[in-house]
Amino acid sequence: MLNIEKFGAIDIGSNAIRLLITTVIEQKNKETKFKKTSLIRVPIRLGADVFTVGNISRENYLRMKDTMKAFKLLMKSHNVVKHRACATSAMREAENGSEIVKKILKKTGINIEIIDGNDEAKIIASTSIKSYLTHDKVFLYVDVGGGSTELTIYANGKTVISKSFKLGTVRLINNMVKETMWDDVKDWIKENTKDYEHITLLGTGGNINSTYKFSGTKLGNPLSFEYLEEYYKTVHSLSYDDRITVLNMNPDRADVIVPALEIYISAMKWSGAECVYVPKIGLSDGIIRSLYNDK
């Protein structure tokens, strides 16, 4: 006898807003299955507002409101039994973030939780990423978003230390990151990896997922440092328009891909990592797991 339910996760990031609907299949004496049923991504770049003027604009609020209404209808159509909406860096820093949350709740019935970087890292850590955390490897986990980068050291299958830095792709393309921030990230990585002989990177985020898909690498196999460097050179050499037409990138990916790759490559250099595993999971996957665990 199977027990089948659908859960919904809304991830409100600095670069885009996503709805993930997952079908959870329970069978007695067998491992629960999580099957991604639908993923909708809307490129509302909230960070472009917040990191430059400090507020979410009325235009983007209206787009966000309409998106939430659409997401609610989609979840209803899918018979989603429970959902959760989490907002990250842009909403955290917006002066009108709390006001927007209240308005969205009133207009759509969707309650948005504004979470901090540590909460974000913990939610993602609850996903299938655990299967990578073997006791014989030390991992530097790097999650690059539009507003921030989350770093975590895993050793012996456990979390050693985590930190969130305001080093994100949307900030970088808007020239909102001081050079000292790069130094802070470099110092943190070097200090917290110096006692380990071999480091392996775990990379999450839309840009590394896009890179992984483009590479054609078989799922489960890592990308080498050399491949990332060559891909970065290729992408960097192309114009914004050519990235869209030649590499078939989405317009809202074509500008942020360059700074994202710079962050991953820098993290590999500073930690001495020779490859990066890309589990292709994110905050929305963690939200689904949290909903299921709460149930």
User: pLDDT digit string (tens) for 104-145?
Assistant: 999 999 999 999 878 887 887 777 676 777 767 899 999 999
Which of the residue ranges 65-69, 85-89, 128-132, 141-145 would you say has the lowest mean pLDDT?
Answer: 128-132
Confidence band, pLDDT 50/70/90 cuts, at residue 245: very high
For residue 91, pLDDT beyond 80? yes
Start-end ranges of CATH 3.30.420.40 in the chain? 2-118
CATH superfamily label, 2-118: ATPase, nucleotide binding domain (3.30.420.40)
Q: What is the pTM of this model?
A: 0.91
What confidence score (pLDDT) does residue 127 get? 75
What confidence score (pLDDT) does residue 121 get? 77
Start-end ranges of CATH 3.30.420.150 in the chain? 128-278
The mean pLDDT of 159-173, rounded to a whole number, is 94
pLDDT tens, position by position, 1-60? 799 999 999 999 999 999 999 999 999 889 899 999 999 999 999 999 999 999 999 999
Highest mean pLDDT of the ranges 133-142, 159-168, 264-273 = 264-273
- In this prediction, what percent of the chain has a pLDDT beyond 70? 99
What confidence score (pLDDT) does residue 219 get? 85
**Tokens standing for residue 133:** 């955390």
For residue 281, pLDDT beyond 90? no
What confidence score (pLDDT) does residue 23 get? 98
Average pLDDT value for the chain: 94
Domain 128-278 fold is Nucleotidyltransferase; domain 5 (3.30.420)
The mean pLDDT of 239-252, rounded to a whole number, is 96
